Structures are given as structure tokens and as C-alpha cells.
Amino acid sequence: MDKKKTVGGTSARTHVSQADICCGLQALGLQSGDLVVTHSSLSSFGYVERGAAAVVDALLETVGTAGTLIMPSHTGLGKYDFGAYDPTKTPVRKTIGAIPDAFWRRPGVRRGNYPPRHPWAAKGPLALPLIEYSEGHPVAAGHCLDILVAVADLGGYVLLLGCMNRNNTSMHSAQVTAFNELEDACKPRREFLRSSPKRPEDFDAVDQPLRHADAVQIAHIGDAVIQLMRSRDLFDVVKKMYISHYRNAGGNESILEDIPDPDGIRSRYDRLMQTLKHR
């Protein structure tokens, strides 16, 4: 990895290779066979040789054929804009980034046919059952028992490549899981870490509790700050935050209706877990 150099008074960006990324991920603790949800920022690394393709290759090389890599493949379409979505053509929205947009186009990657606004893409042994589960998850059920809850229950990881917890979609699922479990509720969405008016950085409030719980590994690859955490550890930290800081703070009333057919959704989720945990 070439460090920054000053040329003519201008600081050039760090040059990063696929090998650098692989070494950094392995040093952080990611290994063959892991299940990992990845959020990313290509520009955060500096200059990456071969761009997004190199990052995707490094991730796939690190988890190997026994591992499963998942990335958001969210679009700019409306929640129910079914007719406009084509999983083989519709790009991810710009805020999701170049790495996920390169990933879903790879041979062997399963990209969800549904829902049109928030599909996921995955490659590996667990890709098909997890994406099929996500496709069958009702839009109205929101983050309750969604694909990210499944990742947590399967011992998977969250990997942040040059981005922060404000970009971590598992934060949505962790909050609604904590609320529903503790309040015996069945809401599709419950974000107690959101301020009013909401700010993008609100979810970064989990950073310090994660570090105090020794639940996150942090390193640098090029200029990018890399964070790796077990998804279940993230869920547990968010649950403790709710108990200690938010549960008795008021404002727990929700304008959201309960999810439709909660028993059916729970039954379908339990069948998925029984199938995948016995693989």
C-alpha cells in the first residue's frame, strides 16, 4: 500500500490494492465461512486499484466459497413501485454506493426481486434462502424479523468499510427488535435513537457503547476506517441502550399500526431459522 505523497504541494491519495484490503480484513478477524452484511464507501479508501471491483473481489476472497456476503441493493424507487423495478437492470441509488452497485452485477449473486425500494443482494451458501425470505417478508412488517434479524441470529457480522453506524441498516432492525421484545409489541419500525427533527448522525450514538462493550473491532485500510462487529452484539448493545436511556424517557407511543399477521410472520421466521441452523 502506497502512502500519501506530496506532489507539487498537493497531497495525493493513498493507493490501495485488493491484496491490501484482504490483509486488512483478515487482520480485523473476518475469515472464510463468515456471514457478513457490508456497508461501504469506495472513496473513503483513497485510490483503489481497479475500484469497486477490487473491493468486491477482496470481500469474496476473504469469506471464501463457504461464506455468505450480503449488501444492500436499495433503489431510488417508491416502496410499492413494483412495475418500475427490474432486478437485472435497476441500479442502486447513489447514496448506497459504487461497491454494492458492482456487487449485484456479479455472476452468482442473488438480488431480490422484491421489494422494489429495499432489495438485498447476496452471494454464498445462505444467499438463496435469505434473499427468498426477504422477498417474502411483507413490506408492512418493516424491520420486524427481517433479513438482518436473521443475520444476527445466525451469528453473522456487520462490516462497515469507511462509513459509520448512521449508514448501518442493522440499526433499524436492532431498535425495533429491542422495542418489540421489551414492550411485548409487534411494531414494524421503532427508532428511539432518532431525534426530532431526525439527523443522519443519530445512529452514531451507539459508537461509544459498542467500544465500551468491546463489541467492535476497528482498523484502517488505506484512509478508510473499518469496523467489524457481530450483529448479535450490536443488537444487545442497542437493547441495553433502550433499557438504560430511552425506555422510561417517554415518547414510546407509536403512531404505527402493529404488523399484519404477527403469528404468521413469526412462524415463517422460525422455519427459516430451523432450516439454516441445521445446515
Percent of the chain clearing pLDDT 90 (strictly above):
77
Q: Which amino acid is at 30?
A: L
If one compares 140 and 99, the residue with the highest pLDDT of the two is 99
Residue ranges covered by each domain of the chain: 6-277
pLDDT of residue 207: 97
Beta bridge partners of 37: 70, 158
What confidence tier does 10 reach under pLDDT thresholds 50, 70, 90?
very low
State how far the Cα of 31 lies from the Cα of 185, in Å rounded to an integer: 37
- Dihedral over Cα of 139, 77, 40, 110: its sign: positive
If one compares 116 and 216, the residue with the highest pLDDT of the two is 216
Whether the per-residue pLDDT at 200 is higher than 70: the answer is yes
How many CA atoms lie within 13 Å of 245's alpha carbon, on the beta-carbon side?
12
The set of residues, in sequence order, having a beta carbon less than 8 Å from that of 214 and lying 6+ positions away, is none
What confidence tier does 255 reach under pLDDT thresholds 50, 70, 90?
low
Output the average pLDDT for the chain: 91
State the virtual CA torsion across 172, 279, 121, 49 in degrees, nearest 10. 110
- Rounded mean pLDDT, 4-10: 42
What confidence tier does 12 reach under pLDDT thresholds 50, 70, 90?
low
Q: What angle do CA 77, 83, 89 make, to 5 degrees?
A: 70
State how far the Cα of 205 lies from the Cα of 85, in Å rounded to an integer: 34
| H or E, element range at 215 | none
State the virtual CA torsion across 137, 134, 210, 243 in degrees, nearest 10. 10
Percent of the chain clearing pLDDT 70 (strictly above):
93
Whether the per-residue pLDDT at 211 is higher than 70: the answer is yes
What confidence tier does 6 reach under pLDDT thresholds 50, 70, 90?
very low
- Rounded mean pLDDT, 256-260: 82
| Cell digits of residue 85 | 423495478
Q: What global pTM score does this model have?
A: 0.92
**Where do we find the cell 476497528?**
218
If one compares 13 and 55, the residue with the highest pLDDT of the two is 55
Compute the chain's Rg from CA coordinates.
19
What confidence tier does 21 reach under pLDDT thresholds 50, 70, 90?
very high
Q: Please name which of 194, 191, 159 lies closest in space to residue 173, comparing C-alpha atoms.
A: 191
pLDDT of residue 251: 55
**Where do we find the cell 438480488?**
111
pLDDT digits (tens, 9 = 90+) for 82-135: 788 899 999 999 999 999 999 999 999 999 988 778 899 999 999 999 999 999
pLDDT of residue 79: 76
Assess contact for 123 and 106: CB atoms under 8 A: yes
pLDDT of residue 8: 43
